[in-house]
Amino acid sequence: MSPFKTVRGMRDLLAEEAETLNFVISKAREIAQFYGYKEVVTPVVEPYELLSAKSGEEIRSRMFIFKDLGDRDVALRPEFTASIARLATTALKTEPRPLRVFSVGSVYRYDEPQRGRYREFWQSNFELMGSDKPEADAEAIVLTNSLMKAAGLRNYAFKIGNIGVIRGILSQENVEDKVQNAILQLMDKKEYNKALELVKQKNCRKTLEGLLELKDDMPFETAEKIKNYVTGYDKAEVAADNLLEILKLVTACGCPVETVEPAFARGLEYYTGIIFEVTVPELDIALGGGGRYDRLIEVFGGESTPAVGVAHGLDRVALAMQMQKTTLSTRRAKTAVVIPVKPELKAEALKISQILREAGISAEFEVMGRKIGKALEDADRRKADYAVIVGERELKNAAVVLRDLAKREQSTVKIAQLIEKIMG
């Protein structure tokens, strides 16, 4: 028995799991292209200072932090937004707005491992910078809808809210930012009583209590009720209007919004407007989430830039696909094993493998030096579509033997026609 195991919270993804994850990654990339997001690749290791600048206590306390050999405080990225905000204030500073940026890769958080929660996981991340319009917010939700669809998921649903509703009320009551963050974090964990304790002395307590009780299942009704509740709190009113408008836009695009929740906060402190999450009934954790963060670029030293973004947890999307028994809608390449009948024919057989690969057929060369019988047995085990047997007699006629492994039939085929025969 090997003494080596993976580190807690880290996983090996074997063939099938890796294939599903790669499928989801390829779909996220396609969606980035369809929506006009340019891909950037940023480092996994970033300065601790950058990553901790605005990510909120929740994530800060879960970062993998260490000193590199140059005595620098560094950390593994827990998300992409800080790196992209850095780019927006440096290399992409003069790019025309709106700026649409896409990234995909692994991120690291010291979370308590359980199903769908890992310490190394994959995200696809979309950021849209430069617009404060509701259509920009809607885009983050609509493209998430596209990804869920492309992954073949069913019955997924969105929950949306606007953090500006609660923040608007608290600001007008002169609750300082730090306390606001603490309140929102408690609400995020559904510890509503503790959150209300922090505004015990304030007039807004009743309004907040009322908002927290709004648990109507009809999204439009809830959004209207929120609007009525916050009358008199100017900024909260604007936020409630904005929520309603975005709700109209995304439902017009066919996004299934199931709940509008006024006290929905999400883990990251940098949100300033709309926030949303998408879930499937089979999992009680979100497959993706995002929102508007209009002050973040400023924190990173850039010009004030409105921005909205979303991150999708690709491992969770893959897990949901597995639970819903979704089949991958990829066209699998045909597969062939190529077997030279004797060692002297290796070079010819290799050449034929190369011809197949260049035509988009997957060709596994017989590298174990086995006799035909054994090599064919192995090809069956590997579920290859075809075996290409390269023998001396056939080669003299510029041909090989092509065996259909499922049908157990074989025939001599001219090399010039081999690709056509395999592709069907």
Instruction: Return the number of the residue (127 or 315) whose C-beta is nearest ligand AMP.
Output: 315
Instruction: Return the number of the residue (80 or 233) whose C-beta is nearest ligand AMP.
Output: 80
Shortest separation between residue 101's beta carbon and ligand AMP, angstroms: 15
Q: Which residue of this chain has its Cβ atom nearest to ligand AMP in the complex?
A: 313
- Could you tell me which of 87, 142, 133, 124 has the C-alpha nearest to residue 302? 87
Shortest separation between residue 58's beta carbon and ligand AMP, angstroms: 9
Instruction: Return the number of the residue (108 or 386) whose C-beta is nearest ligand AMP.
Output: 108
Shortest separation between residue 330's beta carbon and ligand AMP, angstroms: 22
Report helix angle 234-252 to 134-150, nearest 10: 40
Q: Which residues bind ligand AMP (CB under 6 A)?
A: 79, 109, 111, 116-118, 121, 123, 267, 286-289, 311, 313, 315-316
Q: Would you say 211 and 223 are in contact if contact means Cβ atoms under 8 Å apart?
A: no
Shortest separation between residue 72's beta carbon and ligand AMP, angstroms: 24
H/E run at residue 125: strand 120-129
Contacts 24+ apart (CB under 8 A), 219-225: 219/160, 219/247, 219/251, 219/257, 219/258, 219/259, 219/260, 220/244, 220/247, 220/260, 222/259, 222/260, 222/261, 222/262, 223/247, 223/260
- Could you tell me which of 288, 308, 311 has the C-alpha nearest to residue 297? 308
**Cα–Cα distance measured from residue 218 to residue 214, given in angstroms and rounded to the nearest whole number:** 11
Q: What is the DSSP letter of 206?
A: H
Instruction: Return the number of the residue (27 or 109) whose C-beta is nearest ligand AMP.
Output: 109
**Cα–Cα distance measured from residue 419 to residue 357, given in angstroms and rounded to the nearest whole number:** 10
Q: What is the DSSP letter of 329?
A: -
The alpha carbons of the chain give a radius of gyration, in whole angstroms, of 28
Shortest separation between residue 266's beta carbon and ligand AMP, angstroms: 6
Shortest separation between residue 319's beta carbon and ligand AMP, angstroms: 9
Shortest separation between residue 160's beta carbon and ligand AMP, angstroms: 14
In 307-383 the beta strands, taken as DSSP E runs, fall at 307-313, 335-340, 362-365
